[in-house]
Structure 1
Amino acid sequence: MQIKRGIPVSPGVAIFTAFVLDAEDQPVPRRLISLGKVDDEIVRLQKAVGDSISEIEGLREQTASTLGEELSKIFSFHVGVLADQALIKQIEQTITTTRVSAEYAVYVTLRKLASTFAAHDSQLVRKTVTDVRDLERRILKHLIGSNREELKNLRGAAIVVAHDLTPSQTVTLDKKKIKALVTDAGGRTSHTAILAHALGIPAIVGLEDITADVSTGDTIVVDGNRGLVVIEPDAAKLMEYRAEAKKMAQQAKILRELHDKPAVTKDGTEIGLQANIEFPEEIHHALSNGAVGIGLYRTEFLYLAAESVPTEQQQYETYVQAIQGLEGRPLTIRTLDLGADKVVEDLTPSSLWNERNPFLGCRSIRLCLQNLPLFKTQLRAILRASVEGPVKIMFPLISNVMELRQAKMILSDVKEDLEDQGIGYREDIPVGMMIEVPSAALQALTFAHEVDFFSIGTNDLIQYTVAVDRGNERIASLYSAAHPAVITLIKEVIRAAQRAKIDVSLCGEMASDPEFTMLLIGLGLRNFSITPPALPEIKQLIRSVSVDQCRRVARKVSGFDSNREVLNYLKGEAGKIMPEVVGGRSIGY
């Protein structure tokens, strides 16, 4: 039995077998396989090599037709290496004799070959090291790609173990069978954390080398409350965690009984609880957990999940599906937030794939304003769908007034085009913006006169305020929603919205954490948009406190000068109200 500690990002306990997903751009860990799996691994290797050869032959033909035969000869060496049966036999022998995965056998064999070439006297031979490394990545891509295909069609429940999960990877997962997520990398608001919250499953990130310690088929326990992963637990530890999982299931059943009860404080103040979604299919789950609407519809996942760029009609039909699923409840559609860690190759110029600072680069509204056909197509689809029910449009990552005004001007142009074509739309559709960069928060009062509502996106607001990459596990301890500067910005945005008499909600992961609920209500927030599984426990806490009680919490927090003081105090206050929910969780967010 081995126990590893990471960063807990979604609570709960899961006990299942592991499915390990390697990354072709990371060192491959030595992973042992059973004797019965040796033949399967050799078949996987042979298929990956065959697919790689076919791929290279295609590249050679394409290069020959576009750049000439001479330049296409560069791929002849690649084909020759992969056609070398002595090399392939060497990889197969590594699998057979040491009983390791095909990925690891390819990795060590081709790394050894590259080292041999690098030490050669001939400069011409030394130059081929890059080609060998390219072949290694190509074969690994096919091997790991086959794993991802298998992951889409899991035969049974599993815990996914990966170096990291990108948004484009997570949209293809078989979410009904995934019971927990654990990764080497990532921070508290990495996409792994957001996905786990949305699925209501435990997750731990920042484990550094969990992929090296776990093999597919191992039994592991994921304790998302304390941030622990137990590999091959003994009987006593299994019994302990099964009892805890049973207790948590009973508590979840009690919370679900709050479904039809309003989110009203003890002194009668109503709090709006809406949900965050990525696909219309999630709406039923959100409503069954008590959501009164959708406060954040992340439309970029429609692009990430599609094999080609969605047409206007496809987007329109998807938005109508969401509107109809809500049966008259409000839907806030955020325009595309692509770029940074969410890249669609058909849309994103290749020059942007490797931006030095992608989260500070051409992403979100900036990408849309530089790609007007893309932006206008989405706006047309949203406006056409708006006649079907209450829809709001929300622009992300606005950092200055001119960006907002330009986006609004384009929206007006699209409205005029629709009107000229005799296509119906809702003329008075509310238009809002995300507050997720400090410049927007500091100018909130100015922005409040330009829009109908605000939504505070704390995931980005925190990382931009404290200068911490929210996906970097090495500095995860510095990323904190409890930072006094972050709380001050949130307070000022809420005040600005109140002064301008516009609605304001908070849609970041902070809103889903019960430790922050009392603080946010005390600061004046009356609308939350959160992950669907978190709705019942947030509602229970709201129904257990008064606004005066929350204001006292907010006043106390305003006197603290460190996030540790804030976190300890908030955990203590929430624990007094809901010890069964907050008591066992680790502090850190």
Structure 2
Amino acid sequence: MEIRQGTAVSPGIAIGPALVLDTEGVRIPHRTVPPDQVGSEIARLRRALEETAADARNTRERMTERLGPALGNIYGAQQSLIEDRLLRTQIEARIQSQSYSAEYAVSRVIRDFVKRLEDAVELRGNIGAAEARRSASEFIDIERQLLSALLGHPTDPFVSLTEPVIVLATDLMPSDTADFSPRTVRAFATESGGATSHTAILAGALEIPAVVGLSRFLTDVSGGDTVIIDGDKGLLILDPDDETIARYEARRAEALARPDRYEHLRDMPSVTDDDPPVPIRLLGNIELAQEASQCLDRGAEGVGLYRTEFLYLNKTAHPTEEEHYAAYASVLQQIGPSRPVVIRTLDLGADKFSSVSGAVSGEKNPFLGLRSVRLCLNNLDLFKTQLRAVLRAAVFGDLRVMFPMISTVDELRRCKTLLNEVKEDLEYAGIPFKGGVRIGTMIEVPSAALMADVLAREVDFFSIGTNDLVQYTLAADRNNEHVANLYNPADPAVLRLIRMVMQAAHKHKIDVNVCGEMSGEPLYIPLLVGLGLRQLSATPRKIPEIKRVIRDLKIAEAERVAEHALTLETARQVESYLRKQFPPEGPD
């Protein structure tokens, strides 16, 4: 049994078979076979080895003719490895001695080879490290080819699932997780990724347990292995023993049987414990239209952030105006005409995958490149399609539009001009729309925070996106586990920028919301309220506990805490101070 520590991004316990997506999505369906099928499994293995070796031989000849013998020899080396007698003997021995399926035996033997190569790298340091890593990569590629041959070259790893799986991968893009559901996926764990990546956000929205940032572990696990995901403590347990499985089964059963301890607060108002009480509006963040009902179920007063990127993912073409319109109208109809729904325009690029035309692939520094509103202003037809659908759907309720990643006043004004042009186009065409939608801008880069006093004259509301604001303020990639110690919402530099934005908003009498992960963390709620925040937006499952914190809070206490926090010098000092002032409720 091995226990790996990562970053918990979505709570819950999951136990089940692993689905390893490291080999281009090839899934191993069975770990063992009946003893009377061992002979046929060995025959399948030999056919797959012959087929794969022939493919490598043909590829070597083709590449040699096209690019010369040096590159052709790469495939010749693969052919030699596939035809190696030791490899075949070891795989066949696993099938004969342990009744492994051909697929599982291939994966297990090759993963053992890779593990030994990686162990050698650790022992020798940099000496021979590059060569060892190349060899490990070649073995992984051979594994992929052999599994593909054995399984008939499958294309969809989720086809013919007989039970939900636990997905393990180097990393997952939002497009990979868009179709995840409890019916097919119990949980997932990745070697890379951070707590505020969009994949992590989606896992929370779908309420699937998830752990990210585990570093390398895929060479120690094969498809079909039993694993445990502890999304509460950020643990991945490989090959758990019977006692551990029993303990986690008990924890999981207890969690399923226990009702939400804050469920009774759902219909109670979100107000402070003052006389008179001060309202703190709670809204929900959603990724998918069908999540709107979850906001109401958890006691939210509307949608504070509707991320629209998932309309573009898993698509061979851009979504049409009618597809946009149908999604937005559906959310508004679920939420009702009197509750706000804030639609954020397309925010793709950098850490989010899409085939949107105009995007630049392979940018040297994508987080500082053509992403978000910059991408939209570089592709006006794409942008206008979305804005037309927004204005049309607005007739169903209190729809508001918000522009992300604004870094200059000029960018915001260009967005507003384009919105006015779309209004004129709709009016000229005689298409029903609502022209008086409220306009907002995200504050998620330092330049926008510093210019908040000017931006506040241009919009009806601000929404502080703390995920990106922290990242850009501290120059720490939020998905890079190597700088995780720098990425911290409690850093005094971030708090001072938030205070600056709050002061500008209050001066110009516009609303301000916080919609990043910071607003979903109970520890930070008193601090945000003390800085002047009167509206929060978080994933629906976090709303009941946030409401509990608010209902126990007094404004004077929150202001005192915020004032003192702003005098501290480090994020660690701020967090330590907040924990002393507001200990977590109940047992850890």
Cα-to-partner distance string for 1:220-239 (whole Å, 9 max, x where unaligned): 33333332223333444345
Equivalent residue in structure 2 for 1:336, among 346, 349, 360: 346
Equivalent residue in structure 1 for 2:210, among 203, 206, 211: 203
Distance 1:11 1:462 in 2: 23
Change beyond 3 A, Cα 1:314–1:199: closer
Q: Does 1:570 align with 2:557?
A: no
Secondary structure at 2:158 match in 1: helix
Q: Does 1:326 align with 2:335?
A: yes
Scaled by the length of structure 2, the TM-score of the pair is: 0.81
Give how far 1:563 is off. Answer: 1.0
Structure 1 counterpart of 2:341, one-letter code: L
Equivalent residue in structure 2 for 1:534, among 534, 537, 542: 542
Contact 1:512 1:530 in 2 (8 A): yes
**Match in the other structure for 1:280:** 289
Distance 1:535 1:41 in 2: 57
Contact 2:441 2:463 in 1 (8 A): yes
Distance 1:93 1:367 in 2: 54
User: Unaligned 5+ residue runs, structure 1?
Assistant: 61-69, 111-128, 585-589
Give how far 1:165 is off. Answer: 1.0
**1:478-557 mapped onto 2 (5 Å cutoff):** 478-557=486-565
**1:54-73 mapped onto 2 (5 Å cutoff):** none
Structure 1 counterpart of 2:200, one-letter code: A
Give how far 1:319 is off. Answer: 1.4
Equivalent residue in structure 2 for 1:214, among 217, 221, 237: 221
**1:5-154 mapped onto 2 (5 Å cutoff):** 5-22=5-22, 24=24, 34=32, 39=41, 87=82, 95-97=91-93, 139=145, 149-151=156-158, 154=161
Cα-to-partner distance string for 1:412-465 (whole Å, 9 max, x where unaligned): 111111111111211111111111100001111110000111111111111101
Q: CA RMSD in A?
A: 4.1
Contact 2:502 2:532 in 1 (8 A): yes
Q: Does 1:182 align with 2:192?
A: no
Give how far 1:540 is off. Answer: 1.4
Cα-to-partner distance string for 1:317-351 (whole Å, 9 max, x where unaligned): 121112112122221111101111223225244xx
Distance 2:271 2:425 in 1: 44
**Match in the other structure for 1:228:** 235
Cα-to-partner distance string for 1:398-422 (whole Å, 9 max, x where unaligned): 0001111111111111111111111
Equivalent residue in structure 2 for 1:161, among 153, 158, 168: 168
Contact 2:198 2:352 in 1 (8 A): no
Contact 2:202 2:287 in 1 (8 A): no
Secondary structure at 1:304 match in 2: coil
Give how far 1:273 is off. Answer: 1.1
Distance 1:8 1:566 in 2: 22
Give how far 1:196 is off. Answer: 2.4
Give how far 1:145 is off. Answer: 12
User: Unaligned 5+ residue runs, structure 2?
Assistant: 96-103, 115-134
Cα-to-partner distance string for 1:278-316 (whole Å, 9 max, x where unaligned): 111111222211121111111111101323211111211
Equivalent residue in structure 2 for 1:457, among 465, 480, 502: 465
**Match in the other structure for 2:128:** none
Distance 2:154 2:518 in 1: 34
**Match in the other structure for 2:585:** 579
**Match in the other structure for 1:446:** 454
Give how far 1:467 is off. Answer: 0.5
Paired positions, count: 543
Distance 1:40 1:432 in 2: 64
Distance 1:512 1:573 in 2: 18
Cα-to-partner distance string for 1:532-580 (whole Å, 9 max, x where unaligned): 11111111111122222222221231222111122222234332xx423
Give how far 1:272 is off. Answer: 1.1
**Match in the other structure for 2:280:** 271
Structure 2 counterpart of 1:311, one-letter code: T
Q: Which runs of 4+ in 1 moved over 6 A?
A: 47-50, 70-74, 80-86, 88-94, 103-110, 132-138, 140-148
Scaled by the length of structure 1, the TM-score of the pair is: 0.81
Change beyond 3 A, Cα 1:226–1:85: closer
Contact 2:48 2:146 in 1 (8 A): no
Change beyond 3 A, Cα 1:424–1:174: same
Distance 1:403 1:198 in 2: 30
